[in-house]
Amino acid sequence: MNTWFKDSEMFFHTFENKHYLGYQIQKGADSYIPTENNIVIFGLDEVISDSIRKELFKTSFPFSNIALYDLGNIRNSNPEFIIQALNQFESEKSNILILGSNIESFELQLKALTQKISNIAFLEKSGDLFFSTTIQDYILNSTNISKAGLIGYQTHLLNPEKLKHKKFNNSIRLGKFRNNYKDVEPVLRNVDTLLFNMDSIRYSEVPGIKNTTPSGLTSEEACQIMKYTGLNNELNILNFIGFEPKYDFHNQGAMLISQLIWYYIEGVDQQIMENISDKQSMISIVVDLNDYNMSLNFIQSKKTGRWWVEIPNPEEKNTSYFIACSEEDYNKATRNELSNRIFNELSF
């Protein structure tokens, strides 16, 4: 990995307290050993990445089930060089956390890590990046992408009619999330790629982030989203964009991003692996919906209490697939109602 990454200046700081993340994390490209349940961090923009590391390395390290590596910063910002560096992870079973990213480098990731990406989520207030021509072309024309969700969008900034495509069924507006934060967990359960635009956070939380608005996610809500992302059983690729250190008052932005990363790490550390095809670990409940002249098969994990629902495949008769859902989706079905999540997935 030395060919692609160089040491960060933060690697030369001494952390004497063994309870700090900066003490426990394995630093340098040579330190990386592919293992199960690991997280690999590296930076694309050196200034941005090191500003975040300065705060991240001061957080605590109570984790016991993960291996954490920081490879440093990319040696060359040339797009072809970045693609080749990203290609090194194509076959690795690692969670990848990219610092100092932007929309251009995210598009390069889509090209380089095609086989790793099938379910994308964007955290944005208005979907400007989500609905950019390049991203939409990739999502709608790629056979690898099954779902692409927009999380935390605000309806006064985005017409929900733009999210009617079946691939966008994993989208959730800010108000719905705030009404019941647990409703975002099924949305994130199968996400493998997350783009977190920091302008989705409200201005009062991070005044140094450009394009924020008076409304938006709170820092606590954003941390909960990252925790749910870490808890999912997929290998994740994470990006944070919209942060510029020169506008960062009192390091509030860097501190918040470090908190978001910390809660993601905590989620990965607490993961419980489960397989919905393992009938011994699942409870199956069939619900009749008389008003819709159909029945739905819900399953619940005995390990985690999480829910899925079986959806008939309209393209192949006598076949079906499962989507993640919530207990509230199940409860609505028992009342002969269909939640928006299930209704939008079904084809009548």
pLDDT, tens only, 201-214: 999 999 888 889 99
β-pairing verdict for 26-27 and 94-99: unpaired
Residue 22 has pLDDT above 90, yes or no: yes
Residue 194 has pLDDT above 90, yes or no: yes
In this prediction, residue 258 carries a pLDDT of: 98
Question: Which of the four pLDDT bands, split at 50, 70 and 90, describes residue 311?
Answer: very high
DSSP state of 235: P
Angle at 47 between CA 128 and CA 117, to 5 degrees: 45
Residue 346 has pLDDT above 80, yes or no: yes
* 17's tokens: 């307290």
Contact 79, 108 (CB under 8 A): yes
Domains and CATH numbers, the chain: 5-269 (3.40.800.10), 279-345 (no CATH)
In this prediction, residue 232 carries a pLDDT of: 94
Number of residues written out for the chain:
348
In the predicted model, what is the mean pLDDT of the chain? 93
Residue 348 has pLDDT above 70, yes or no: no
Rounded to an integer, what distance in angstroms lies between the CA atom of residue 202 and that of residue 211?
10
Instruction: Taking residues 278-294, report their average pLDDT.
Output: 94
Q: How confident is the model over 96-129, as pLDDT tens digits?
A: 999 999 999 999 888 888 888 899 999 999 999 9
Instruction: Taking residues 298-311, report their average pLDDT.
Output: 96
Question: Which of the four pLDDT bands, split at 50, 70 and 90, describes residue 235?
Answer: confident
Q: Per DSSP, what are the bridge partners of residue 185?
A: none
In this prediction, residue 227 carries a pLDDT of: 97
Question: Which of the four pLDDT bands, split at 50, 70 and 90, describes residue 314?
Answer: confident
Instruction: Taking residues 325-340, report their average pLDDT.
Output: 95
Residue 166 has pLDDT above 90, yes or no: no
In this prediction, residue 307 carries a pLDDT of: 97
Instruction: Taking residues 55-64, report their average pLDDT.
Output: 97
Q: How confident is the model over 127-141, as pLDDT tens digits?
A: 999 999 999 999 999
Rounded to an integer, what distance in angstroms lies between the CA atom of residue 193 and that of residue 210?
23
Task: Compute the 3-state secondary structure of the chain and give helix, strand, coil in percent, each to the nearest 5.
Answer: 40, 25, 40
Instruction: Taking residues 226-255, report their average pLDDT.
Output: 94
Instruction: Taking residues 71-87, report their average pLDDT.
Output: 92
Instruction: Taking residues 301-327, report their average pLDDT.
Output: 92
In this prediction, residue 163 carries a pLDDT of: 94
**Other CB atoms closer than 10 Å to residue 195's CB: what's the count?**
23
Rounded to an integer, what distance in angstroms lies between the CA atom of residue 240 and that of residue 208?
15
Rounded to an integer, what distance in angstroms lies between the CA atom of residue 199 and that of residue 217?
9
Residue 296 has pLDDT above 90, yes or no: yes
In this prediction, residue 62 carries a pLDDT of: 97
| pTM exceeds 0.85 | yes
In this prediction, residue 202 carries a pLDDT of: 96
Find how far residue 313's CA is from the centre of its chain: 26
Instruction: Taking residues 1-6, report their average pLDDT.
Output: 92
Residue 275 has pLDDT above 80, yes or no: yes
In this prediction, residue 114 carries a pLDDT of: 82
* 210's tokens: 């450009």
Least confident of 5-19, 53-67, 103-117, 248-262: 103-117
Residue 280 has pLDDT above 90, yes or no: yes
